[in-house]
C-alpha cells in the first residue's frame, strides 16, 4: 500500500474522517516531507525534555 493510501486508511480508522477533496489528498501526501524533516532532526530530543520547558525558556532567555 502506498503512503497516501495508508494515510487515508489510518485517518479513517482513528478519526472517522475521509478526504474532503483532492487538495486534502495532496497535502496528506506531502506529509512524506514532514517525515523527512523530522528524520533530519531526529535524536535531538532528550529523555528529560518536556513541553513545559518552553515557558521556562521564555523566562530564561528574556532581556
Partner 1 sequence: MSTLADLSLVEAADAVARREATSAELLAACLARLDAVNPQINATIWVDREAAHEAAAAADKAVQAGARLGRLHGVPLAHKDMYYQAGRPCTCGSAIRRDFVPTVTCTVIERLAAAGAYSFAGLNMAEFAQNPTGHNRAFGDCHNPWSLPYITGGSSSGSGAAVACAATYASLGSDTGGSIRLPASACGVTGIKPTQTRVSRYGVMPLSFSADNVGPLARSARDCARILSVIAGHDPRDPTSAREPVADYEAALDGDLRGLRVGVPTNALVTLADAPVLVAFEAALSVLAARGATIVRLELPLMDAITAYVGVLSRVEAAAIHARWMRERPQDYAVHLSARLYAGYAVPGAYYVEALAQRGPILKRFARDVFGQCDVLASPTIPTCLPTLAETDIDHGPPGTEQKFMAVSVNTRPFNYLGLPTTSQPCGFDPNGLPIGLQLAGRPFAEARVLKLADAYQRDTSWHTLRPPAVVGEAPMVTA
Name the site residues for partner 1 (rule: CB under 8 A). 7, 10-11, 14-17, 19-24, 26-28, 30-31, 34, 37-38, 40-41, 44-46, 49-63
Least distance between partner 1 and beta carbon 40 (Å): 6
Least distance between partner 1 and beta carbon 28 (Å): 5
62 Cβ partners below 8 Å, 6+ apart?
none
CA atoms within 13 A on the CB side of 45: 10
43 phi-psi bin (left φ>0, alpha ψ -120 to 50, beta other): left
Least distance between partner 1 and beta carbon 20 (Å): 4
Amino acid at each position: 500500500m502506498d503512503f497516501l493510501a495508508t494515510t487515508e486508511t489510518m485517518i479513517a480508522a482513528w478519526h472517522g474522517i475521509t478526504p474532503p477533496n483532492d487538495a486534502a489528498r495532496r497535502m496528506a501526501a506531502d506529509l512524506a516531507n514532514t517525515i523527512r524533516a523530522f528524520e533530519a532532526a531526529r535524536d535531538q530530543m532528550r529523555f528529560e525534555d518536556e513541553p513545559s520547558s518552553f515557558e521556562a525558556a521564555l523566562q530564561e532567555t528574556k532581556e
